[in-house]
């Protein structure tokens, strides 16, 4: 298992190189560059000469293959380069926001897991009763209501009911958990609703499928308590597909909270993404894409390893 994990981690290297190559050249196809945005965007009247100087300073006028080699060489040393806009290291730019985004994602996952498993199970066990209908309506809502809108509703409710708004500045959780949670719990709820809905529906349908399996009948024929039939015999099997969905959702949350972050005024990865794209900040975009790709790969690995924990039929040899 350990060997397998190591192998899988090694395999992420070619994947990430592929992503790096792809994103590097795709960005270069797009017309325009950061210098234009920086100097001419607000109707600024800057001479061509100045622009050339700025390009030279940022190394944008070098031949493409030189830029590429330079970039790849940096990657090999875990150096993502320097943001063309803020002129701070890309890693630094990402890291100061990653903590926040990661925490929102983790909070959302905890929230979704805690709610979706009992919800999905109840819906499956009481299939076609009012309980099932309520769950189904709730989850359909989760799928169709956009997170940012739900986030706005939460903010407005907080304001009108309690005349209170969550803090805007980020406090790390190890410094002041209360302040931290009072800021981040709301966006986590907003995105967690969708997350929870997707997972609950998955658990409901896979549990229904599992409950019709022969081995569930066997368990009942053994005289196992119905509670145990569900918790021990059925749920363990039914959780497998849910794990896949949860992994994908989690990876999505790292980079995909663009609008929700806006709503709650959070300085997270999503906002950074929007900014860097609108500024044509190639270095930052490249760095973020690679980081998110890395997240996807690692979360996939975690999902695969979790599979092995839950299902003895899956054993990864070394």
Task: Kindly state the greatest CA–CA separation across the chain.
Answer: 86
User: Quick check: 281 and 32 in contact, CB under 8 A?
Assistant: no
Give the list of residues 6+ apart from residue 223 with CB closer than 8 angstroms, or none. none
User: Quick check: 269 and 257 in contact, CB under 8 A?
Assistant: yes
Distance, CA of 58 to CA of 52 (rounded, Å):
10
Q: Which stretch binds another protein (CB under 8 A): 106-114, 153-161, 201-209, 230-238?
A: 230-238
Distance, CA of 265 to CA of 85 (rounded, Å):
21
How many CA atoms within 13 Å lie on the side-chain side of 267?
A: 11
User: Quick check: 121 and 132 in contact, CB under 8 A?
Assistant: no
CB-based burial of residue 185 (10 Å sphere; 0-12 exposed, 13-18 middle, 19+ buried)? middle
Q: CB-wise, 8 or 28, nearer to another protein?
A: 8
Of 57, 156, 172, 220, the one binding another protein (CB under 8 A) is 220
Using the rule CB under 8 A, is 68 a contact of another protein? no
Distance, CA of 269 to CA of 282 (rounded, Å):
16
Q: What minimum distance in Å lies between the beta carbon of 203 and another protein?
A: 16
Q: Which stretch binds another protein (CB under 8 A): 2-10, 37-45, 65-73, 253-261?
A: 2-10
Q: What minimum distance in Å lies between the beta carbon of 214 and another protein?
A: 4
Q: CB-wise, 32 or 312, nearer to another protein?
A: 312
Distance, CA of 300 to CA of 16 (rounded, Å):
14
Using the rule CB under 8 A, is 14 a contact of another protein? no
Using the rule CB under 8 A, is 1 a contact of another protein? no
Of 143, 222, 231, 278, the one binding another protein (CB under 8 A) is 222
Q: Which stretch binds another protein (CB under 8 A): 17-25, 38-46, 180-188, 222-230?
A: 222-230
* Distances from the Cα of 16 to the Cα of 10, 22, 244, angstroms: 11, 10, 21
Distance, CA of 147 to CA of 154 (rounded, Å):
10
Using the rule CB under 8 A, is 307 a contact of another protein? no
The b/e string for 287-312 (b: 16+ C-beta within 10 A; e otherwise) is bbbbbbbebbbebbbebbebbeeeee
Q: CB-wise, 36 or 304, nearer to another protein?
A: 304
Of 3, 13, 41, 69, the one binding another protein (CB under 8 A) is 3
Using the rule CB under 8 A, is 9 a contact of another protein? no
Q: How many residues bind another protein (CB under 8 A)?
A: 29
Using the rule CB under 8 A, is 11 a contact of another protein? yes
Using the rule CB under 8 A, is 213 a contact of another protein? yes
Using the rule CB under 8 A, is 233 a contact of another protein? yes
Q: What minimum distance in Å lies between the beta carbon of 229 and another protein?
A: 10
Q: Which stretch binds another protein (CB under 8 A): 56-64, 71-79, 168-176, 214-222?
A: 214-222
Using the rule CB under 8 A, is 204 a contact of another protein? no
Q: CB-wise, 204 or 233, nearer to another protein?
A: 233
Summarize as ranges the residues that interact with another protein (CB under 8 A).
3-4, 7-8, 11, 213-215, 217-226, 232-233, 236-237, 310-313, 316-318
């Amino acid at each position: 298992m350990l060997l397998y994990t190591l192998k899988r981690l090694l395999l992420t290297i070619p994947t990430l190189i592929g992503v790096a190559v792809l994103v590097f050249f795709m960005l270069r196809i797009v017309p325009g560059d950061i210098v234009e945005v920086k100097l001419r965007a607000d109707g600024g009247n800057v001479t061509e000469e100045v622009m050339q100087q700025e390009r030279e300073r940022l190394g944008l006028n070098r031949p493409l293959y030189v830029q590429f080699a330079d970039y790849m060489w940096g990657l090999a040393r875990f150096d993502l380069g320097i943001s063309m806009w803020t002129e701070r290291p890309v890693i630094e730019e990402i890291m100061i926001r990653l903590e926040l985004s990661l925490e929102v994602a983790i909070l959302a996952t905890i929230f979704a897991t805690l709610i979706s498993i009992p919800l999905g199970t109840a819906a499956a066990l009481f299939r076609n009763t009012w309980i099932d209908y309520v769950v189904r309506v709730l989850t359909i809502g989760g799928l169709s209501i956009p997170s940012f809108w739900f986030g706005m509703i939460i903010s407005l409710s907080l304001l009108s009911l309690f005349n209170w708004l969550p803090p805007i500045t980020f406090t790390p959780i190890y410094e002041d958990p209360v302040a931290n949670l009072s800021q981040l719990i709301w966006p986590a709820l907003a995105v967690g609703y969708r997350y929870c809905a997707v997972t609950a529906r998955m658990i409901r349908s896979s549990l229904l499928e599992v409950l019709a399996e022969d081995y569930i009948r066997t368990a009942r024929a053994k005289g196992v308590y119905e509670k145990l039939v569900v918790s021990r015999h059925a749920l363990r099997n039914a959780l497998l597909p849910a794990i896949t969905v949860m992994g994908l959702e989690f990876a999505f949350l790292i980079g995909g909270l663009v609008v929700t972050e806006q709503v709650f005024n959070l300085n997270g990865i999503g906002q950074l993404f929007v900014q860097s794209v609108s500024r044509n900040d190639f270095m930052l975009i490249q760095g973020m894409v690679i980081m998110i790709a890395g997240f996807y790969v690692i979360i996939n690995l975690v999902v695969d390893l979790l599979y092995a924990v839950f299902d003895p039929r899956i054993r990864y040899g070394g």
